[in-house]
A = this chain, B = another copy of it.
Amino acid sequence: MKIKNYYKNLPHKTIERLSQYRRALMICLDNGKTHIFSHEIANIQHITSVQVRRDLMLIGYSGTLRKGYNIQDLIEVISHIIDDEEGIKVAVVGMGNLGRALMKYVRGKRHKLEVVAGFDTNEEKIGKEYKGVTCYSIDDLEKVIDKLNIKLAILTVPAKYSTETAEKLVDAGIKGILNYTPKPIRVPEDVYLEEYDMITTLEKVAFYIKMHQEEEGE
């Protein structure tokens, strides 16, 4: 198959935007719209129409001249690219404040991304349900991941346990990790890793506020 090789070369940023386009498109569809211009999508996302067209070119989707893109079709094309047919099962590892907020948030949001388990070490949480999802003991990680066919883990344990928990996840056969702890983790090549550090982002915003202040006070 060459199609998948082709998608493989899509820029990471394009993948991100496709996800965003799709959500915007679904809202438009709900509002009864059937077609949309590149500059309309661009407006919603606050980017340029060139970028939208370029992204759509990369995935090989063509619109109609002077009519724009067929929303329904485009949603399907994007879904075919980014969604797994059978869906990807997700686990939240560390059912603390952030983990629970995320679980509640993700539940039912995207039907191809289903949160099917939580994990924790706290005895009081183990065995309980949260938003209809069972919280398992971290000791049963491998067993549960295997049984429920979980591929993706959202990591929200305290930072000092990041490394060891990541190792457990890898050993249990997880294929992708979204790490929300501020401690960077390391995974083998065949596991996809995405990290997000909130404090860094906050400090960055603060830096640019400061920068701008100093500029003004010149």
Please report A residues at the B interface, Cβ cutoff 8 Å. Answer: 1, 4, 7-8, 12, 15-16, 19-20, 23, 44-46, 81-84, 88, 90, 97-98, 100-102, 104-106, 109-110, 112-113, 151-152, 154, 175-178, 182, 184-186, 190, 192, 194, 196-215, 218
Contact = CB atoms under 8 A, between A and B. Distances in A.
Specify how many copies of this chain sit in the oligomer: 2
Given A1-B214, A19-B203, A109-B199, 18 more contacts: A8-B215, A19-B204, A23-B182, A23-B199, A46-B185, A82-B210, A84-B206, A90-B202, A97-B105, A98-B105, A101-B101, A106-B198, A106-B199, A110-B199, A113-B206, A175-B212, A190-B212, A194-B201
A153 to B, nearest CB: 9
A106 B202 contact: yes
Nearest to A178: B205
Given A23-B182, A196-B196, A208 B176 contact: yes
Contacts of A207: 15, 81-82
Contacts of A152: 202, 205-206, 209
A45 B184 contact: yes
A162 B194 CA distance: 26
A209 B151 contact: yes
Q: 4 tightest A-B contacts by CB?
A: A97-B101, A192-B208, A84-B210, A19-B203
A92 to B, nearest CB: 11
A207 B205 CA distance: 29
B184 A202 contact: no
